[in-house]
Amino acid sequence: MVVTRVARGLVGLIGLAACSRDIGGSGATTATETEGATSDSSSHGSMADDAENTSPDDDGGPALPPRADEQLCRFGGWAPGLLPPIELEVAFDDLVVDATAIATGIDAGIIWVATGQGRIVTLALAAPEAPASEAWVGLQTDRVTGLAASGSLEHLFVRFEDDGRATVVDRFTLNEAGKLDLDTRVRVLNLPHAAGVRAGAGLAIDANEHLVVPLGDGAVEEEFGPADERADRRGSVLRLDVSEVSASNDAQPAADNPWPDEPRPADEAWAIGLRDPAGCAFDPETGALWCVDVGATGSEVTLTESGANLGWPSVDGPNCAIPNGCSQLDVEAPDGSYRYGDDGCGAVGGAIVRDGDLLDGVVVFGDRCSGEVWATDANRSAIVARWQAPARAFATDVDGTVWAVDAQGRVGRVRVVPTEGVFPLSFSQTGCYLDAQTVEGTPDAVPYELNAPLWTDGAIKRRHIVLPVGETIAVGDAGELEFPEGTLLLKTFSFEFVADDPESLRPVETRVMIRREFAWEFHSYQWDETGTDAELLDAGKTVTLPLDSGALAYDFPSRSECRYCHSAATPGPLGPRLDQLAREVDYGHTVADQLQAFESIGLFGSALPEITPMASPDDETAAAEARARAYLHSNCGHCHRPGGWVPPDLDMDLRFETATEQAALCDTPTQYDIPWFPYDVRVAPGDPENSAIWQRLSTRGLGQMPPIATQTIDPRATVVREWIAGLPLARSDADAKVACLGRVLQEQRSSGF
């Protein structure tokens, strides 16, 4: 049996593997880690006899010491440049049920909130306990979808769906108390449409009385409308001059719109290419317009300049919907976007913060189902909160403070959550390592290893998990792991700069994942050339490592790049799952089952289910299919899975738990044309040279897989070639499917996790 030997405290992270990464660990060896260590073939809980699980220096003691009663490895405060967490400071509690829009007149002490039943509620800041004033601007079937107050607070513009069959914008005059005078209604816009179509939402007005009205593409479900055609209002951002409106339908196109000489409605448009906009907002400092659009597979926010094409229907968020690519299209890429996970369904918002605090200049918007709140600017985008009651609308007041209303009808200010401590800018300030050269962790850092690690150009990786004192990892019914808030996952990447010379080993990077209340947070530290300390990076970068085998371009991922793989489908750690952790490890003084060692020190909050270990790609005693599928899972499966960072229609699923016949592999045509890869079948049974998967794994450069985080071909990838070569040659499509059934692997899966 081959085991991995670790020193107590040898570190590594699971989570970040340079974006494509984190399902795995290392493909290299050290005196304390044997490359490709073979996993125990038995299920967890059925270890072999003690005599078979001892090393020559086995002292019979426990594999791991008791958990520390003090946390020495710490990351306090908030990292510079990182978007900080926010919260809702409630000013009005449970007042507006079914809220859909909000507008502010803070200098007059007024906030307006609209509802889905044609109702406008006026709230007075001076009397938050007083009954709210209400005005009905339509029938109960007339859902209000946008509010905007003029700069002088003379008028309030109200957008609603007239019985669900027309998008209507009316202007009302406000009295001194900020209440609507219903007798002053003037119709600014009336756009009939079919019932149930995507009509869009939101209103915004700038200092020059230019009213912005973002419109949906007028389609339903999977259909799409003419959003990229200027001659059609659908899918456009209208920009109208309402400074001289005195009668119904008297609004005119803004004089400086991008297409003033084209016939209407093109002259009304500021931008095109939206699917179902949730709203637009002006930056009160710069005047720039930001728009939030609800896509088919995710939502996005984009700085929307004059004449911009936001891409729909050719592009959905960052994803191209055209089979041969979108590189020739003149469209704006979103500044921030997110995929819908299990509980996401589409954005609301947004509003721009201009209060001089840590979020100054960012757009805040939220998901109306999951409760996630996002913050985005031109360089950053991240989840900054997960509210129990999801946000319904956001608006910015004259002081630059963002206000929000949530699903419980509460209205309040959005503010940065206070934090304690100072975030460590140098790794030496974290208290996590006793010895950086050997990556020896502090007593609260528990080392762990994986069965099928990710390849990172031969890096030697050391991983640790640090749990808050007294906390445990929750285990779900299906064996999924839920790490408590405050968990730290560390992974250090080291290289032997002279091959087979342990004295030349030094750390290059340490990645840190921190479990916050609302999301996982990613950080990267770059070690100096002496390997004595590392500095926190605020952006991604590439450096050249002078290895004796040749110069290696090494990538440090940015925080946003880490989310390529830690996406909606897998937002947290990818490596530490039970079948990856189910293995024997040589702890130096004893060999032990890793999961049993974890259980013995109380890492888990409940008993573990029966687990079938994931195969090690290097385990020659394991079935060829199991080894190949484990390799594909660790190096490809984080993206190639439902909801992963691949085009939404890409049907290949490379997770280890997905049966091979359901993975869309064998004798399955490729879905996209790649000119430099003339292979039209993913896996051709018996023929790796004509299998697209093998060709891309064995290539570096254009078309390589994984597409990032690796510059050299992994010699262990040959397990995939050997598996394909060993498949029976297919005489028909049916034979090809049978050839890939993988009965041995199916039998293994049926016996456990």
Fill in the amino acid letter for 557: P
Give the pLDDT mean for 90-94.
87
d(CA 568, CA 640): 13
- Is the per-residue pLDDT at 634 higher than 80? yes
- Is the per-residue pLDDT at 580 higher than 70? yes
Question: Under a CB-based contact definition with an 8 Å cutoff, are residues 372 and 81 in contact?
Answer: no
Fill in the amino acid letter for 563: R
Lowest mean pLDDT among 241-250, 415-424, 583-592, 706-715: 241-250
pLDDT of residue 52: 39
pLDDT in tens, 376-397: 998 888 899 999 999 999 999 9
pLDDT in tens, 149-176: 998 899 999 999 998 899 999 999 999 8
The angle at the Cα of 140, spanning 136 to 144, to the nearest 5 degrees, equals: 70
Q: Please report which confidence band the pLDDT of residue 24 belongs to, taking 50, 70 and 90 as the band edges.
A: very low
pLDDT of residue 690: 94
pLDDT in tens, 196-241: 999 999 999 998 999 999 999 999 998 999 999 999 999 999 999 9
d(CA 278, CA 202): 6
Lowest mean pLDDT among 317-331, 335-349, 416-430, 713-727: 317-331
d(CA 166, CA 142): 10
Smallest Cα–Cα separation from 508: which of 483, 468, 541, 469?
Answer: 541
- Is the per-residue pLDDT at 97 higher than 90? no
Task: Give the three-class secondary structure for 91.
Answer: strand
pLDDT in tens, 508-530: 999 999 999 888 999 999 999 99
Question: Under a CB-based contact definition with an 8 Å cutoff, are residues 441 and 108 in contact?
Answer: no
Give the pLDDT mean for 71-75.
95
Task: Give the three-class secondary structure for 628.
Answer: helix
Tell me the sheet residues that pair with 406: 391
HEC states along 493-537? Answer: EEEECCCCCHHHEEEEEEEEEEECCCCEEEEEEEECCCCCCEEEC
Q: Give Cα 440 to chain centroid, integer Å.
A: 31
Tokens describing residue 20: 């494509």
In angstroms, what CA-CA distances link 635 with 329, 419, 699? 31, 36, 14
DSSP character at residue 690: G
Q: Please report which confidence band the pLDDT of residue 252 belongs to, taking 50, 70 and 90 as the band edges.
A: very high
Q: Please report which confidence band the pLDDT of residue 317 belongs to, taking 50, 70 and 90 as the band edges.
A: confident
Q: Give Cα 376 to chain centroid, integer Å.
A: 13
Lowest mean pLDDT among 81-95, 316-330, 604-618: 316-330
Question: Under a CB-based contact definition with an 8 Å cutoff, are residues 19 and 448 in contact?
Answer: no
Tell me the sheet residues that pair with 169: 159, 189
pLDDT of residue 10: 28
**DSSP state letters, 699-714:** --STT-SSSSS-SS--
- Is the per-residue pLDDT at 399 higher than 70? yes
Smallest Cα–Cα separation from 315: which of 213, 379, 227, 237?
Answer: 227
pLDDT of residue 59: 60
In angstroms, what CA-CA distances link 98 with 113, 135, 270? 10, 15, 31
pLDDT of residue 11: 28
End-to-end Cα spacing for the chain: 22
Smallest Cα–Cα separation from 104: which of 428, 404, 430, 410?
Answer: 404
Smallest Cα–Cα separation from 724: which of 688, 692, 695?
Answer: 688
HEC states along 264-275? Answer: CCHHHEEEECCC
Place of tokens 């390849």: 455
Smallest Cα–Cα separation from 692: which of 709, 712, 671, 707?
Answer: 671
Q: Please report which confidence band the pLDDT of residue 734 belongs to, taking 50, 70 and 90 as the band edges.
A: low
pLDDT of residue 637: 93
Strands 446-447 and 460-466: antiparallel
The pTM (predicted TM-score) of the whole model is: 0.83
Q: Look at 81 and 622; give whichever has higher pLDDT.
A: 622
- Is the per-residue pLDDT at 36 higher than 50? no
d(CA 719, CA 712): 16
pLDDT of residue 21: 30
The angle at the Cα of 507, spanning 499 to 481, to the nearest 5 degrees, equals: 115
- Residues above pLDDT 90, as percent of the chain: 67
